């Protein structure tokens, strides 16, 4: 997949993200917590408890959108 770069407009810090689905599959909610998407991290842990972990097989399909929306909501900008 293509790499996505986000830039913090306040200090110019750039973070690069890629392989969202693979990391979400391997690390589940911990991946979302690493990127500061705490609501999704907590939701993924709770849903995983009720589905015996099967939800972690579905989350990777939405990981890129979740991470992108999280950074944009915090005011970060996408760069190329």
User: Which one, of 36, 30, 6, 33, lies nearest residue 18 by Cα?
Assistant: 6
CB of 4 closer than 8 Å to CB of 18 = yes
Going across the sheet that includes 77-79, the strands are: 14-17, 4-7, 77-79
Domain boundaries, the chain: 4-74
Tell me the whole-structure pTM to 2 decimals: 0.85
φ and ψ of 19, to 5 deg: 55, 45
pLDDT along the chain (80 residues), means of 10: 86 90 90 94 94 90 93 90
């Amino acid at each position: 997949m293509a790499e996505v770069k986000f830039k913090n407009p306040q200090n110019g810090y750039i973070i690069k993200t890629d392989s969202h689905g693979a990391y979400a599959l391997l690390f589940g909610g911990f991946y979302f917590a690493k990127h500061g998407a705490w609501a999704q991290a907590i939701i993924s842990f709770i849903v995983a408890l009720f589905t015996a972990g099967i939800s972690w097989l579905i989350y990777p399909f939405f990981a890129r959108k979740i991470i992108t929306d999280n950074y944009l909501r915090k005011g970060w900008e996408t760069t190329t």
